[in-house]
Amino acid sequence: MASKDGKILVVDDNLGIRRALEILLPLHFTDVKTIPSPATLVNSLEQFRPDVVLLDMNFNTSINTGNEGLYWAGEIKKMAPEVEVVLFTAYADIQLAVEGMKRGAFDFIVKPWDNDKLAATLTAARDKARKALGRSFAGAQDGDSVILNGAQQSEESMFWGTSKPMSVIKKTVQKIAPTDATVLITGENGTGKDVLAREIHAHSLRAEKPMVAVDAGAITETLFESELFGHVKGAFTDANTDHVGKFEQADGGTLFLDEIGNIPLHLQAKLLRVIQNRSVVRVGGSKDIPVNIRLICATNMDLEQLVREGRFREDLYYRINTVHIALPPLRERREDIVPLAGRFTAQFAEKYHRAVTGLDDSAKAMLEGGRWSGNIRELQNCIEKAVILSEGTVLTAKDIQIEQSKAGAPASGMLKSVSETEEERLVREAVERTGGNISAAAKALGISRPTMYAKMKKYGL
């Protein structure tokens, strides 16, 4: 049995559940406190100071969607980031619990629960909380990761894979990264444009300086100049202090303007002036402030088409397009899907404390046969959910939740248009990858089981 230590706060409106936990949890925790609703949660956090909060997803209020639990989980992490939150949920609310983990919850427990699993999860959360608390008192040692607001901060590193398009891009990055050349990165949503921008910055001569990222498409027109160029005190209502804009914040480093194609035409002229002059004038000010930046821009839009339509300035387009890198969609680098999935599996297994070590052949076949219209971001989200919900140590096709409309779509089209020789190769590969699992192979190819049987018979498999 795990050591008996620590404090746990239970928030659940069901009296029977609270009574049961008041009997079970003292076997594992020194102090146990239960409350029926979040009404006294803030006071309990301040006075009881728990290591772990076991939080129900729904309470006896007009809100019964589980969102109340998500809200309070977020509030707990804001008030006491060192406290670990474990969500208590009915089976129907598992999707909400997954969302809760993405927002910082340690784990979730499904009702009715298994006592051993409940105890193991809660004590693991306690141990993590106590370890983090000890580190915060002791101070970070050399080599430790930086801890901010209780969360480990880490940047995604670039995964190049083995596909030919990515090999070409890697060579280009190796050449341009040490220069100050302006870079335009294009590609569909989810292809990793922001990750590539960080990779370029990390291998530049400015790597020790900040990289400031701006979602240009998300800034309202009224705040555009203030956010990018800054403002002086009194420039407009509520401008109570001077504000340093993104260009100044990135001085000496890299400024990454994402979604640049969404900037309105009349604001593009102001952006062009700053890029040309390498200086900004804060809103309400008159002083030119020099800025020394390396500029990287990104968009999922066809800027050349926008230029032809008069929706994007041609002179701005050429200013930001010294080097153009087009990231390929995931469907054009299928050999990288499984290695990427393996990387995400390890990442999320560690993040969510799951003993998942990899993917079996059926899962690999399922992934390779997916459409992935959301590209790497969609694949990442799929694996994250699979790791959280999986009960085993290896992900299977059953764990990989791809919409049926997306599963196997590319492969199905491929079989209809390829030669007989190529079709035989695809069928044989699907059978080999799935270890002879007919259902998984059929899903990977986007065909029915009877059709799969017919093709196997046709090719003597």
Instruction: Quote the distance between the C-alpha of residue 32 and its chain's center.
Output: 34
3-state secondary structure of 239: coil
Tokens 């596909």, residue? 163
Q: Tell me, yes or no, whether 18 and 133 share the same domain.
A: yes
Helices and strands in the chain: count of H runs, count of E runs: 19, 16
pLDDT for position 315 = 95
pLDDT for position 65 = 53
Q: What share of the chain is helix, strand, coil (3-state, %, to 5)?
A: 50, 15, 35
Q: Tell me, yes or no, whether 34 and 101 share the same domain.
A: yes
pLDDT for position 297 = 96
Whether residue 149 is contained in a domain is answered as no
pLDDT for position 442 = 75
Once rounded to an integer, what is the mean pLDDT over residues 340-363? 89
Chosen domain end from 294, 326, 358: 326
Q: Tell me, yes or no, whether 432 and 453 share the same domain.
A: yes
pLDDT for position 305 = 93
Give Dmax (Cα) for the chain: 80
Whether residue 74 is contained in a domain is answered as yes
Q: Tell me, yes or no, whether 310 and 346 share the same domain.
A: no
Q: Tell me, yes or no, whether 358 and 232 share the same domain.
A: no
- Kindly state the helix (H) or strand (E) to which residue 442 belongs, with its residue range: helix 438-445
Radius of gyration of the chain (CA): 27
**CB-based contacts of 347, cutoff 8 Å, min separation 6:** none
Answering whether pTM is above 0.95, one says no
pLDDT digits (tens, 9 = 90+) for 292-314: 999 999 999 999 999 999 999 99
Chosen domain end from 309, 326, 343: 326
Spatial distance between the Cα atoms of 129 and 6, rounded to a whole number of angstroms: 9
CB 382, CB 92: distance < 8 Å = no
Q: Tell me, yes or no, whether 92 and 21 share the same domain.
A: yes
Q: Tell me, yes or no, whether 52 and 192 share the same domain.
A: no
Assess whether pLDDT exceeds 70 at residue 340. Answer: yes
Chosen domain end from 326, 341, 361: 326
Q: Tell me, yes or no, whether 302 and 190 share the same domain.
A: yes
User: How many structural domains comprise the chain?
Assistant: 3
Whether residue 186 is contained in a domain is answered as yes
Q: Tell me, yes or no, whether 314 and 406 share the same domain.
A: no
Spatial distance between the Cα atoms of 307 and 300, rounded to a whole number of angstroms: 15
Once rounded to an integer, what is the mean pLDDT over residues 18-25? 91
Whether residue 158 is contained in a domain is answered as no
Winning range, highest mean pLDDT, from 111-125, 177-191, 347-361: 177-191
CB 49, CB 119: distance < 8 Å = no
% of the chain surpassing 70 pLDDT: 87
CATH code for the domain in which residue 43 is found: 3.40.50.2300
Whether residue 71 is contained in a domain is answered as yes
Whether residue 155 is contained in a domain is answered as no
% of the chain surpassing 90 pLDDT: 39
CATH code for the domain in which residue 385 is found: 1.10.8.60
Winning range, highest mean pLDDT, from 16-20, 159-163, 315-319: 315-319
How would you class 131 by CB atoms within 10 Å of its CB: exposed for 0-12, middle for 13-18, buried for 19 or more?
Answer: exposed
Q: What is the mean pLDDT of the chain?
A: 83
CATH code for the domain in which residue 253 is found: 3.40.50.300
How would you class 334 by CB atoms within 10 Å of its CB: exposed for 0-12, middle for 13-18, buried for 19 or more?
Answer: middle
Residue 63: band (very low, low, confident or very high) from pLDDT cuts 50, 70, 90: very low
Instruction: Quote the distance between the C-alpha of residue 55 and its chain's center.
Output: 24
Assess whether pLDDT exceeds 80 at residue 133. Answer: no
pLDDT for position 7 = 93
Q: Tell me, yes or no, whether 194 and 49 share the same domain.
A: no
Q: Tell me, yes or no, whether 318 and 350 share the same domain.
A: no
Once rounded to an integer, what is the mean pLDDT over residues 395-404? 78
Instruction: Quote the distance between the C-alpha of residue 363 and its chain's center.
Output: 21
pLDDT digits (tens, 9 = 90+) for 214-245: 988 778 877 888 889 988 888 777 777 888 88
Q: Tell me, yes or no, whether 262 and 337 share the same domain.
A: no
Spatial distance between the Cα atoms of 58 and 420, rounded to a whole number of angstroms: 56
Q: Domain range for residue 219?
A: 164-326
